[in-house]
Structure 1
């Protein structure tokens, strides 16, 4: 694309105007499709067809059909097809050229000075655009995320262009008139006659100057993994050592081969084989790429936080162990890179961490160098005023309250109805939570006000809880969540009320804490054998918080050793299903509940030990992950995982947990995010953790809030991509895509290569089902199943991670990481986001006899392009199987689907979207019935399925989703064999299995 202009940016004006109107700056999609409908030369079409096996009638006939297509049929008959000039089964019908808006008249480009090679748009007119000039320079035309705040102009040669907020069009502004040309100089006097002689040699002709090569206008994504994830030029290997032979559920490998780490003090983790002799330590060896040894360590656990900050460079690491038979097993050396620019940081080693705390006087919750009087003064007069008043009101109510009687012990077998037992367990937790709140409020209120009545009541409640049976209903063995609240209450109360407790009372509390934490520490040690256990990993956070306050106190003989153990566990785990990009391989709801725990843990570490955990990449990025996955200040369903139906996570947790997290990280985006709901700043009557006030006693200032500069994120660790029309808006449109290595394990679902769609702040295409209770009939057979996602199934709903390979019909998904996905591509192209997932391994069933997995497909590849500026999403699927399949494309919504012409329409007023299919002919049907109804009688949801008319061993499908069913942006689609080309408003996207070619 090349335009020239002289005197003003007429070409740039035209280009940006065309983009805003949904047309290509090079003539529009209509022109493109007419000139070359298939986007592929005849020879390349033959090659594509030849490279595709001919088992499918579709792939054999597709190359013969006109490559530019209309959507395939959506009739109710199984064999319904679109009108076609061919009669072969499952062929692609030809279509008339797509209709577009009449293009605006292209301004005439004057000869001259400024050449526009490329226009890049970033989002809608509320974000930015960039012009790349012929001389290689570029200029950003920038707007603000929150809306238009002034005109945007940029110079190029002699003119400039203005981006208009009202019309989202670029208009050529009048350039100053050029100065009059100077009068010509007088002609020189004639030269004297030349003296006769030999003629001078002619001057050599100047060498031709080669024109600079035009900048590439496309980029190819080859499906080798995400950028900035693997070391450049390093291809990860598949080894045959004990690490690779271990099951995925016990294989937490850090850093993986060829990984680029984000911490200069990296964590190392590896699986623990069952034949290891635990009497002999592991031998860990770290080397530079040149073979020189950096460190050799003997460690007792299969994880290690190296005790030094590594310089930038390439490294290898390996471990070895002694088997119970006396042999030595050594892991293959894994390679990793420490990139340049990482801060040189080092967390304290276990012994030093313990010493710093046990030598600190009580109350340890008071930051060093501060006072409760200073903190109280700051809290009462600033943004925490309403929260401070809520704390005092809670203490006032509790002064006269009676203590709670310990919950009675009942066995699970005494309940005949599962929901009754669940209610009983919840009641025990509520009792413990209530006493925790009361003790916390009274103890903090006493220290902040000096009111003795608060101390007296606090001790009364504290000693009541200390007397609860450590083996009773609130014990770790019977209700671990209740046990957490109890030992946190005891530790917090003893630390803050230390000066009011007698030696006997301190001993009683210390003994109770030790008894309750004894089983917790035993539970925590299980993660070395099974690193992804949910309760056991969460227990680490709570144990560390209690031990920071109680280790070294009378009656607590094991406190110091357990504190070191808990610190070393926490600093090497941080999150069991997260590594470094902040994402968590669990549901979005559980990530928010983890934020509750993480925020309090990192705040206590800052307040009590002056340790800044935001130095660690995972903690630093965790808030960004939630920010990408949950829109601010709006109630929406969650994209993925258990409890997708919980719509109030931002409202319930941003004002306290995320605010506390932001107070520690001090990142502008995090500060902006919790403030996006104005009432969060002074939320009247709402109790928040008093750790907020304690942070006022630490050094540092809050940053100026700033909305995120990005509109899309890829999180490789969890296998999630989030793309937004404008990340700063509550009513944004968002496309979420998932293909992750955690598979359907724990709170994840069998939803690899699935997506969800939000339009105008309304859920349009959702992850269906409810989390009534874990592994309920509904949860197991509906909520976790592929057929209730926006994902591919076949042969009547058969999907991923089937739990019984002997059954041909769909079964409840197994809880496994064996059936998993992987992100292969990701790019943010300015006005679009593109990505690819490989779910081939996800489509396999467990054989419950020998616990092996039976593959069902050979390829399950899905790519997407979310064209944020147009509100259009393109989905490309390449599917292959050794057995012919009736492929199915499933869609889930809150309201019934309707039709508009050949389009399927998803509705959630005022939002809607048209869904069109290209490449596979079939029919659409929908239902609101469940395979198993939720136990709570929750609202029905709607499940649509587009089913291929015939079975095939291969299928290439393009799905185009147009928000508001808009036709402003022209769309042209062609599918030939495995190759698909989609042109949207002049931008061309090509797909071939795991590869994509997109505009650059």
Structure 2
């Protein structure tokens, strides 16, 4: 996972802002777009019961807040909290609610906000910290494993049939890396820490992760095999890998200050190993090794806690920091497993646990999308498999049961379906999905949709996560005949994404993805509002371009996240959506105005006007996907106060071919699309160039360009998937405008 120090420094500065000004009339609503929003609100039915209450901090920085909750106008609950959020430990009765909050030091109540708890609001109760800590401390080690997990020698016939392939695969993996994976050493990374991100320093930081991650996995895997098999060789291997981590200088190249991701991974993997090995680290009463490992965990986690707890908890006020949010997950699990062994762990746990489980996730609403793109959604699934099962075993709080998490599993099915060759939208979109993480995440659900997804992913589950999971896996309780894919079309409103599939159950499907997101180009998102991506049989046909060398690199800024590298609207030689700045991209965003789906036609309309930051006065895109003829019709309409030459960009990982008759097509791995302009004003096709693609890959760039500058106009384009020669005509008779695709007539708005 790649990140920049710039968001962290910016967050630290912005954290001070709410404390400097006078209180607003409705002080819970900050003017800073990055500040936490007051929720729940707008009479929305809550997916989760109880919901988390959140608000922006009061300017007076009070020691605590008082929250009042009214049911049908009558005071029902009163809570007190020292943080600017609160997750009640018990569910609320169904009904219509309002709530308000005030500083404990004044009567300055916020404006009341409303919400609904319905019969289908899903129960997700999290006990208070004292009860959680007590439950954790009572659990014998290993806390992170299911209490019913038995040694292999006592597995039932059914469990052996289910889990022995994973055990064999993990055994082979660990045995292979015993000799082929060298231990890590501080001497590998000679460059000193620096706030200036040079290519050499970025390469070194990346190399630290490339070395730390497999060694951390080897440590945990060997410790797990020792727990399951009892074989001394795996205890020896776990001790060897743990000792190497304990020997690293906590103030050296793997320090939190120099490589925070490496440091948090070292701390967590050591703490997991301490938990898994339990008494095996103590020999004849000698606790020297265990104490040394614990001291390293304490030192590294102390630095992690200091960073996250700065200003009273920087994520409490400024949650839009993906890097810090992942760090909070590491702090949560490490502190949970360390309770009773590291005195500070109680403070770390009380700070992190309920904050982590209550705020998940800031990257979408309760329906479970992921605004940063599906590559980062994959990373989220990976981290979830590393952290959530152990938390559930230790505390009894199962994050897979959170409504957001269930929606996230379905989001993966819609946007990373079986057989798709690349990710979509945001950083890492060009990478191939590592389906074992998506499969492992979906395996935690006993639903027909999860069963369909798991059955159709040929990649095996992550074998380490499988061995550590409860038996049987929830998805295995669904019969094969009951497996059913989710709907062919889906809209995730909080992130502004839509998926339109010809037939999700068919691996030869057409998949058309569209994005007009309220998250704009913030964080790992790009300037691709109103952008689309087209796949056929999992093969990318019309794509996004560029590659993720590193966050905030020259190429990342000049091409990769710019509109001109996406299937999006630009003007005047590639000028597109404004992505510069840090907090500004969150408000330079898109929105979906309409979405509908029928068996015959899917329709979406996006508005990207705000993303152009005043350069355009209007920028809308409408897409009709005609399922019967496997054809898409795309209408862009735009306007500007200044005359501009508008451009319709499209890209491919194969040559864009324009024949002598002007027909334009892309063929990639025997999958084809013909791009057919229905010009309503003069335009021409041009080729454009981009930076050199990643080694071993190919990219081509095309654009339709209007013949002259204008203050308004439109592009009308048809995508004939498969180049079937589908009959398409434009009918403007009777004062109406229709595109007839095969036998399907689509009514279009008149030109503006």
TM range (shorter): 0.7 to 0.9
Deviation string 1:163-190 (CA, Å, 9 cap, x unpaired) is xxxxxxxxxxxxxxxxxxxxxxxxxxxx
Work out the CA distance in 1 between the residues paired with 2:597 and 2:303: 48
SS in 1 for 2:545: coil
Measure how far apart 1:342 and its partner are.
3.0
Measure how far apart 1:980 and its partner are.
4.6
- Counterpart check, 1:492 vs 2:272: yes
Structure 2 match to 1:963: 721
Structure 2 match to 1:97: none
Work out the CA distance in 2 between the residues paired with 1:379 and 1:402: 37
1:597 to 378, 383, 388: 383
- Counterpart check, 1:775 vs 2:552: yes
Work out the CA distance in 2 between the residues paired with 1:632 and 1:606: 28
- Counterpart check, 1:562 vs 2:348: yes
Check the 8 A contact 1:888/1:946 in 2, yes or no: yes
Question: Taking structure 2 as the reference length, what is the TM-score of the superposition?
Answer: 0.88
Check the 8 A contact 1:981/1:989 in 2, yes or no: yes
Check the 8 A contact 2:737/2:750 in 1, yes or no: no
- Counterpart check, 1:879 vs 2:638: yes
Check the 8 A contact 1:286/1:295 in 2, yes or no: yes
Work out the CA distance in 1 between the residues paired with 2:175 and 2:545: 45
Deviation string 1:828-881 (CA, Å, 9 cap, x unpaired) is 11222111112111111xxxxxxxxxx122222222111122111112223223
- Counterpart check, 1:890 vs 2:674: no
Measure how far apart 1:754 and its partner are.
0.9
- Counterpart check, 1:309 vs 2:91: yes
Check the 8 A contact 2:364/2:495 in 1, yes or no: yes
Measure how far apart 1:422 and its partner are.
2.5
Measure how far apart 1:825 and its partner are.
1.2
- Counterpart check, 1:480 vs 2:260: yes
Measure how far apart 1:642 and its partner are.
0.9
2:40 to 255, 259, 265: 255
Work out the CA distance in 2 between the residues paired with 1:994 and 1:533: 42
Work out the CA distance in 2 between the residues paired with 1:403 and 1:963: 51
SS in 2 for 1:599: helix
Structure 2 match to 1:391: 170
- Counterpart check, 1:342 vs 2:135: no
Deviation string 1:140-164 (CA, Å, 9 cap, x unpaired) is xxxxxxxxxxxxxxxxxxxxxxxxx
Work out the CA distance in 2 between the residues paired with 1:577 and 1:394: 34
Deviation string 1:353-386 (CA, Å, 9 cap, x unpaired) is 2211012111213323443347755697223323
1:506 to 290, 298, 315: 290
1:676 to 445, 456, 461: 456
- How many residues matched? 717
RMSD: 3.1
- Which structure's CA Rg is the greater one? 1
Work out the CA distance in 1 between the residues paired with 2:270 and 2:99: 42
Structure 1 residues 460 and 903 mapped into 2: Cα distance closer, same or farther (>3 Å)?
closer
Check the 8 A contact 1:583/1:625 in 2, yes or no: yes
Structure 1 match to 2:150: 371
Structure 1 match to 2:417: 631
Structure 2 match to 1:270: 55
- Counterpart check, 1:537 vs 2:317: no
SS in 2 for 1:680: coil
Structure 1 residues 964 and 700 mapped into 2: Cα distance closer, same or farther (>3 Å)?
closer
Measure how far apart 1:619 and its partner are.
0.6
Structure 2 match to 1:441: 221
Give 5+ residue unaligned stretches, structure 1. Answer: 1-238, 682-686, 805-812, 845-854, 996-1000
Work out the CA distance in 2 between the residues paired with 1:602 and 1:993: 52
Work out the CA distance in 2 between the residues paired with 1:416 and 1:331: 43
Structure 1 residues 973 and 484 mapped into 2: Cα distance closer, same or farther (>3 Å)?
farther
Give 5+ residue unaligned stretches, structure 2. Answer: 1-23
1:830 to 588, 599, 605: 599
Measure how far apart 1:399 and its partner are.
5.9
My pick for the range that moved more, 417-426 or 596-605, is 417-426
Deviation string 1:169-227 (CA, Å, 9 cap, x unpaired) is xxxxxxxxxxxxxxxxxxxxxxxxxxxxxxxxxxxxxxxxxxxxxxxxxxxxxxxxxxx
1:516 to 290, 300, 313: 300
Measure how far apart 1:269 and its partner are.
2.7
Check the 8 A contact 1:754/1:790 in 2, yes or no: yes
SS in 1 for 2:350: helix
Measure how far apart 1:577 and its partner are.
1.1
My pick for the range that moved more, 600-609 or 494-503, is 600-609
Check the 8 A contact 1:893/1:907 in 2, yes or no: no
Measure how far apart 1:592 and its partner are.
0.6
Structure 2 match to 1:91: none
Check the 8 A contact 1:589/1:643 in 2, yes or no: yes
Work out the CA distance in 2 between the residues paired with 1:534 and 1:495: 28
Work out the CA distance in 2 between the residues paired with 1:601 and 1:414: 30
SS in 2 for 1:774: coil
Structure 1 match to 2:65: 282
- Counterpart check, 1:841 vs 2:610: yes
1:588 to 360, 366, 374: 374
Check the 8 A contact 1:746/1:815 in 2, yes or no: no
SS in 2 for 1:296: strand
Structure 2 match to 1:731: 508
Check the 8 A contact 1:399/1:453 in 2, yes or no: no
The equivalences for 1:755-904 within 5 A come to 755-801=532-578, 803=580, 816-844=585-613, 855-899=614-658, 901=661, 903-904=663-664
My pick for the range that moved more, 878-887 or 717-726, is 878-887
Measure how far apart 1:755 and its partner are.
0.8
Check the 8 A contact 1:604/1:691 in 2, yes or no: no
My pick for the range that moved more, 242-251 or 712-721, is 242-251
Measure how far apart 1:581 and its partner are.
1.1
Structure 1 residues 993 and 471 mapped into 2: Cα distance closer, same or farther (>3 Å)?
farther
2:668 to 897, 905, 908: 908
1:297 to 68, 75, 79: 79
Structure 1 residues 306 and 432 mapped into 2: Cα distance closer, same or farther (>3 Å)?
same
- Counterpart check, 1:645 vs 2:430: yes
Work out the CA distance in 2 between the residues paired with 1:422 and 1:661: 31
Greater RCO between the two (CA within 8 Å, min separation 6)? 1
Work out the CA distance in 2 between the residues paired with 1:861 and 1:409: 50
Check the 8 A contact 1:878/1:993 in 2, yes or no: no
Structure 1 residues 468 and 380 mapped into 2: Cα distance closer, same or farther (>3 Å)?
farther
Work out the CA distance in 2 between the residues paired with 1:748 and 1:355: 41
Work out the CA distance in 2 between the residues paired with 1:621 and 1:717: 12
Work out the CA distance in 2 between the residues paired with 1:457 and 1:694: 22
Deviation string 1:898-940 (CA, Å, 9 cap, x unpaired) is 346454333325232233334642323333522x446x55645
Measure how far apart 1:744 and its partner are.
0.6
- Counterpart check, 1:665 vs 2:445: yes
Structure 2 match to 1:359: 138
Structure 2 match to 1:190: none
Larger helix fraction of residues: 2
Work out the CA distance in 2 between the residues paired with 1:460 and 1:363: 20
Measure how far apart 1:586 and its partner are.
0.2
Question: Taking structure 1 as the reference length, what is the TM-score of the superposition?
Answer: 0.67
Structure 1 match to 2:745: 988
